[in-house]
Chain A
Amino acid sequence: MPEIVAGLLWIALGGALGGPARYFVSGLVGRRFGETFPWGTMAANVTGCLLMGALAATVSFNGMALSSPGWQIAGIGFLGSYTTVSSFSRETLALARDGQSAGAGWNIVLSFGLCLAAVALGYAAANGILS
Chain B
Amino acid sequence: MQIPKQATLLRIFVGEDDRHDGRPLYEAIVMKAREAGLAGATAWRGGMGFGHSSRLRTMKIMRLSEDLPVIIEIVDARDKIDAFLPALEAMMTGGLVTLDTVEVLRYGKDAD
Contact = CB atoms under 8 A, between A and B. Distances in A.
Contacts of B87: none
Main DSSP-derived SS at the B contact region: loop
Interface residues of B, number: 9
B82 to A, nearest CB: 38
B34 to A, nearest CB: 34
A91 B62 contact: yes
A91 B60 CA distance: 6
Contacts of A35: 56, 58, 61, 64
Main DSSP-derived SS at the A contact region: helix
Interface in A1-38: 23, 26-27, 30-31, 34-38
A90 B4 CA distance: 47
Interface in B1-18: none
B62 A36 contact: no
B112 to A, nearest CB: 41
B63 A98 contact: no
A53 B64 CA distance: 29
A30 B63 contact: yes
Contact of A90 (B56, B58, B62, B64): B62
12 contacts: A27-B63, A31-B64, A34-B61, A34-B64, A35-B56, A35-B58, A35-B64, A38-B61, A40-B63, A87-B63, A91-B61, A94-B59
